[in-house]
Each structure stands twice: as structure tokens, then as C-alpha cells.
A and B are shown apart, each in its own frame.
Chain A
């Protein structure tokens, strides 16, 4: 016979079969939501307001538009580059803060302060420094992403098991391999979790920068279309952004699960 927890699972899967598959359930809820949106907007809102059927209608024309793809690529590219920069510097600073007490005390105040600072507040300053240009967007992305990487990596470096370091010392490992082969390697899953949080913030940063400084990209595309009363086209842009967010999240989760199955850390530093 199955164990106690086993019967529990068996029961719930039976119940699942009775209520139909999860997929069908999700699908029907989705249809319900979209239906409510469609009917609600059709009856109670101004004609320009986006609704699902019109969005589907707008889909082919938007997706075959080269300008749309160049805007998408522009946003995506700056997020990727910005994340890469934030990863490199965030890892270095994070390792330093995790392992060197003085560095931690000197920088902790600033890292936490910048982390708590709403990134959009930095936008006016960044646009003055970098101009109303793509560099300003890149700077916003780096700024939005950097501090969650630092915080996570320093947590990771702090929680390197003591034994690892002791063994390394006992075998007279050199400094470089203590830092990179041991500390960095055991902080790696924290780094990935940090990047996962950072990616969400980076995407928001990129969109806000585009809207604020009128930089070509997905955010600007949405703004221009929503202003021009072409909300259905703009919704396609929002869906694209949501897809980016979800894809990235899923990728990072997959990496964590595949290569670092022992990594468990609930909630943590949120974005």
C-alpha cells in the first residue's frame, strides 16, 4: 500500500481527473476573463479602448511591421547588455562584500540605499547626464539591475560553507582559486536568482526610460500607439513585454532547477 503522503497524492490526482485536466481549467478561466473584457469594453467603454477580438485583428499587421521588430529588438538588446554589465560588476562587488567585512560595512549602506531607491527617480538625472539617448536607457537598465545582483551575490558569498574554505586553506589553495573556484562557484545559484529578479526590474527600467525620454523601443511603441488611439496595436506591445518577462523568468528557473537543484531560498530579496 502507499504511504500516508502517497494516499494524499493519489486522492488529489483522482479529484483532478474528476474536475477535468488542469489545462482545460486554465483555458476556460482564460476564456472567461477575455470574454468579460470583450463584453465589458464593448458595452461600457469608449470605442478606442482595446479589446481582445480587435487585438487579434491587429496582430498580423503589427507582427509584419519591420519598425515594430526593430523597436522590440532595440529594447531587448539594451536589457541584455545592461544585465550583462550589471552581472559582471554586481558579481565583483557582491563577492567583495560577502567575503571582506570592511568592504561590507563600507558599501552596505549605499547598496541598500540604492536598492530601495525607486529607479524611476534616477531617470531625470540619467537623462541629463547621458542625453535623451539609448545610453540613458542602458544606464537606467544597469542601475535597475545592479543592486539586486550585488545583494544576492553577497548573500551567496557570505553563506559559503566554512568547511570549503578550511579545506582550501589546508591544501594551500592560492587566493585566486579561493575567490573564483570556491566562493564564486558556491555563490553562483544566488547570482542566477539575483539576475532573475534583476531582469524584471531591468525590463521595467527600459520601458520607463523609453517613455520618459522618447527612445525608440517597445515602451515608446506602446506610448505612441496608445496616444494615437490605436490601443489594440499597443496591447500587442504589452503582450510582447509580458512574454519577455515570463520567458526570462522561466529560463532562469530552469537553469536553477537543472544545475542547482539543491538551491532553495524562499522569497528572498524581492524586486
Chain B
């Protein structure tokens, strides 16, 4: 009898019920959208000028899904965020997101030439913070690119990109910090808008 109990206890201890992790893996959350984006870029139906805007919109949808622009904006200002009033915070987030969108969509759409993205792996730093490592193969060069991701609102989203050791957020933070040392938040927001306008004027890629 005792033996029967013992056996049952041992069995119970060894049954591994599938424990559903609190979150899916970071790599999976961003890999599929990125690969979809690349497929979109390669899709021959968008090679005509008339379809470029449509392609842009679709790519932007993907980007909005996997990047967390609010966290990105907050981190780009760091401590200065709290010195902005609510309207300025909102304007800044809008302006900065628009800057990133214009600049990087132009670049992605205009300069994509069959690069391949190879995902190398992920490093979970804390429960909510991870790094997804990848490299971009372009002609004969390899460019290491890391995505820093945060788990918020149920999925992993990107909050920083690291290319060859250069962090995008840190780069903008340096610039904004220096501008805010001499100018007001509204002036910074206006400068961001100015940069975006310049880019819109000059940068739109041709088919």
C-alpha cells in the first residue's frame, strides 16, 4: 500500500505539464513581420511607380506593429521627457515618429537591393528585455544588426536598433540633449519637423 502511494507520488512529480510561458520568444515575434516586409520589398508587382505608395503603406503597417514608437520617443529624450508638458510630449512623439518613418521608409524602399536578413539568435536579458541578433548580407559584406526588444502589451516589440555597435536611440538622444541644452522643447520639435520636410522634399525614391 505504502509502495503504491510512493509510486503515485513519484509519477506525479515527474509528469511535466506543459507550462505555457508568460510570453512567446522574442525572435518569433519579430521574425515573421520582418520577413513579410522583405517579401513585400521584393514583390515585383510593386516595382511600378504607381504602386510605390501602396507598398510604402503596407510596409509602414508592419513597422508600426513591431516597433514601439512611444517607448522609442521616451527613450530618445530620457530625462528631458518629464520637462515637456503633455502637448509637447504628444507633438514630439508625432514629429519624431514621422521623422523616422520618412527617413527610413525612403531608405528601405529606395535602397533595397536583394539584401538578405539572417537571424542569428536571441538573448533574453530579463523577463521583459531581450536582444535579437541578425546580420544583413549585402553583396560581399555582412553587417551585424541587433534589435533590442521589450515585452509590452502582450508581445515583443523593438525599441532600439544597433548597427555595428551604433545605437539608433543613443544617436538621437545625443542630438536632442545637445539641442535642448540651448533651445526650448518647441524649438526641438520644430527642428525635427524641418528635417522631415527636407527629407520629404528631396528624398522620395523613384521607381
Does B associate with A? Answer: no
Residues of chain B whose beta carbon lies under 8 Å from any beta carbon of chain A = none
A interface residue numbers (CB < 8 A to B): none
